[in-house]
Each structure stands twice: as C-alpha cells, then as structure tokens.
Amino acid sequence: MPRFAQRMKTMEKSANIIRGLFGAMNDPELISFGGGAPAREALPVDIVREIAADVITTGKKGIQALQYGSVMGLPELREVVVDHLLAPKGIKAKAENILITSGGLEGVNLLCQVYIDPGDIILVESPTFVHCVEIFEMFEAKCIAVDMDDDGMNTEDLEAKIIKYKPKMVYVIPTFHNPTGRTLSLERRQKIAELGSKYDVIILEDDPYRDIRYSGSDLLPIKAFDETGHTVLANSFSKIFSPGSRLGYILADDEISAKLFNAKTATNSHTSMLPQVICAEFFKRGYYPAHHRMICDLYRQRRDTMIECIDKYFPEGTKRVFPDGGLFTWAELPGGINTTELLEEAVKNPDVKVAYVAGEGFFTEGGGKGINCMRLSFGSVTPEKIRVGMERLGGLIRSKLK
Ligand SMILES: Cc1ncc(COP(=O)(O)O)c(C=O)c1O
C-alpha cells in the first residue's frame, strides 16, 4: 500500500480523542453528559416537515432546492444571516461577505485552506475544542496554548505569545466556550481584535453558541471591534436549527472572502441546496423567534438542574462554571481525582453508567493539564435524567475521596 499522507499522522492524537468521545454514546442504558448535540426536543421536526413539503411542491423552489447553487450560498439564507442573526445583535455586515458553509466546522476548514501552511503556529485557548485542533493538525499547523480564566482567553498571555511565536492565526471560542462554558469579557473581545490588527494575525472567532443565551446580556463579537479585516467570524446553524442539516456561515472582509470563494469552489462547489432552502424559509416564515424562546427555556432549565446537582452531589471543593448559555459546564474536582481513569469506571460500573468527557484531551499542551477536570453537557439530557445521573456520578466521585 502507498504511504498515507503526512497529515494523517499529525492528526492521529486528536482523531483518537474524538473517536473516544463518540464511543460510549451508543449504549442506551448510559446517561451521557458527553456529546454536544442539541436536545431532540430542540429540533424543529414538525416545522421542517411542513416547509419541506411546501418547498418541494412549489415549482420554482423545488427546482432551486435540487439544482446546483451559487458558491457563496443561497442569497436568501445569506440575507437571513445578516437580517435575523447579525443585525439584531448590533453586528453590521453585508450579505456579500457571508459564505454559507457545510456546518460551522467547514468555515474553520476553509479558513485554514486559505491561510495555513505546514509548520504555521495557531494560538488556541487552554483548553479548546478538540475537533478544531484536529483540523489544524490536518493542515500540519502547530497549536500553542494560551491561558484562560473565568473571563476567557487571557489577553496578556496572548500578546506575549503572539510576540514570541509569531502565529498565523489565533483561534478563540468567545461565547459559552466549548468545553468550559465560559464567556470572553467585552474588554478582552476588543483587545483581541486590536491585537490581530497590531500584529497582523488572523483572529478566527468561532461562535456557534452565541445565539443560545438564556441569562445575562449579549456581548458584541470580536468582529464588531475589527477595523482592519483581521477577524473572521465563523458560526453555525447546528445549535439553533439542526446539526444534521450541516449549515454554517463565515463572515469575512472582501479580500479574505474572495479567497474563501476559491477554497469553497475547490472543496465542494457549494453547500447542499435543500437544507439551505428549508432553513431560509424557517426564518423568513417567522418561526425562529418562538423556536428560539423554546430552546432557551429548555436549556436554561437543564443548566439550572445541572448546576444544582453539582452543588448537591459533588464533593466540597469542586469548582464549576455557571454558563449563561450554551450546552456545557466544566467541573474541576478536588483531591487529585483523575477524570480519565474515573470515566472508565463511571461508564462500566452498572450502578453508575454515566458518561462525561474527561478534561485532559482538551489541552493541546498535554503534561497532565486538566486531569482533574470534566466537561458536562446538559443539552441533550432531560432534567430527570440529569438528577439521576449526577447523583450516581457524584456518589462515585465521593467514594474516591474516602
Ligand atoms: C466550538 C465549536 N465550533 C464549531 C462547532 C461545529 O459546529 P457544526 O456542527 O456546525 O459543524 C462546534 C460544535 O460542536 C463547536 O462546539
């Protein structure tokens, strides 16, 4: 057999972590706080059924949905992004600068195609989203971790590392961060945009959770502070509409948009038309506001239950994040507990049968960082199951401290 491409080797470690994430999900008896999928109740099945039937039986739309489309995406959906998602949040953008992608991840992938050569440095948060690390490694980039705290990425450490490593890109998840649920403060958002301009570094702002805010108030994205075009905003319809539709978008200034157009053409010509048409109709027919309220209420209740259970069942000395939105919280356990080892027992022990994601894999720097941490996803678990699962998991953790 011919040799595999070098990139297959570079991405092996993160690929294994991701495979591990999905491994336990198929056991129906397991209560899983592992995956990051939306709640099944948050998927607008009935609305999509109605729209899909209508679209397919309406001559012009039916043809449009099944025909080739334009590289940048369906014009109506790009208008939806500008008018329904960005403008109400104080973000000024033109539809020409929006590219519709196949899921949020494709935006990250395309921007890497445009900018990343083998050996380039990408600064990432510590911890960060493994799936994107896998993409960065596929492009043979080297990830360097930047400290973070409750207010998100530490901008002093960021500036020091920009000076030291001269990165091509900074990858940041500013709102309800994956895996921690933390949100980057407004001051730091502004600072990061300024650092991108000052040091000529691309800021990749990956913001798929920003629209699922159920407490606190909205913060402007980093992109809103960008005066030189160095910040690129990637977002997704996965958490507000449907992940299976594989829809996302990327907002970039003219020069970068032109290159993204070329990368998208060479990748898959354009994003699937049928989901684009359906999703655009979902917004244009006015379904989004009520749907959005419903999912926020649902996740707020799950967040409250999860936090209440951590406080009740986890040992004293546990630190946890109280997220104002999104699907995750992050717990740091006391007493030197190794969450990677604990996970095996939590999943296999018939009296526990609970999954979470061990913290270690989210830290690109390795060295045992995050070994006592866990990501707990409450999005797709009912409050009743959250209570049962957290009581069992808390009991297991406490038994280790005795
Ligand atoms: C931080 C982050 N970026 C990007 C994505 C990708 O979203 P999509 O499913 O739209 O590709 C996710 C999904 O979990 C995510 O958590």
Concatenating the DSSP letter of every residue in 104-117 gives HHHHHHHHHHHH--
Predicted pLDDT of residue 90: 84
Amino acid identity of residue 391, one-letter, is E
Q: Hey, is 352 helix, strand or coil?
A: coil
- If asked whether residues 66 and 18 sit together in one domain, one would say no
Report the atom number in ligand 1 closest to the C-alpha of 105: 11
Report the atom number in ligand 1 closest to the C-alpha of 238: 10
One DSSP character per residue, 48-99 reads HHHHHHHHHHSHHHHHHHHS---TT--HHHHHHIIIIIIGGGT----GGGEE
The whole-angstrom distance between residue 284's C-alpha and the CA centroid of its chain comes to 25
Pocket test for ligand 1, best of 105, 209, 235 (most atoms within 8 A of CB): 105
CA–CA dist 280, 75 (Å, integer): 9
Predicted pLDDT of residue 22: 61
Pocket test for ligand 1, best of 236, 249, 330, 375 (most atoms within 8 A of CB): 236
Query: Rounded to the nearest whole angstrom, what is the distance from the C-alpha of residue 379 to the centroid of ligand 1?
Result: 14
- If asked whether residues 205 and 230 sit together in one domain, one would say yes
Q: In the chain, how many domains are there?
A: 2
Residue 215 lies in a domain: yes
Residue 161 lies in a domain: yes
Residue 151 lies in a domain: yes
State the CATH number of the domain containing residue 150: 3.40.640.10
Q: What is the phi-psi region of residue 369: left when phi exceeds 0, alpha when psi lies from -120 to 50, beta otherwise?
A: beta
Predicted pLDDT of residue 89: 85
Predicted pLDDT of residue 11: 83
CA–CA dist 184, 112 (Å, integer): 23
Tell me the mean pLDDT per 10 residues along the chain, length 402.
Answer: 88 74 71 94 97 88 94 98 93 96 98 98 98 96 97 98 98 98 98 98 98 96 96 98 98 98 97 98 98 98 98 98 98 95 95 96 94 97 98 97 82
Domain final position from 219, 249, 284:
284
Domain span at 94:
45-284
- If asked whether residues 234 and 146 sit together in one domain, one would say yes
CA dihedral 87, 92, 94, 97 (to 10 degrees): -110
pTM: 0.96
- If asked whether residues 226 and 344 sit together in one domain, one would say no
Residue 341 lies in a domain: yes
- If asked whether residues 252 and 321 sit together in one domain, one would say no
- If asked whether residues 349 and 253 sit together in one domain, one would say no
Report the atom number in ligand 1 closest to the C-alpha of 206: 3
Residue entry with tokens 């990061």 = 192
Exposure on the CB side of residue 394, measured as CA atoms within 13 A: 19
What is the CA angle 30-131-6, rounded to 5? Answer: 125
- If asked whether residues 302 and 185 sit together in one domain, one would say no
- If asked whether residues 280 and 328 sit together in one domain, one would say no
Six-digit token string for 125: 């948060």
- If asked whether residues 142 and 166 sit together in one domain, one would say yes
- If asked whether residues 167 and 270 sit together in one domain, one would say yes
Q: Whose CA is nearest to atom 16 of ligand 1?
A: 178
State the CATH number of the domain containing residue 30: 3.90.1150.10
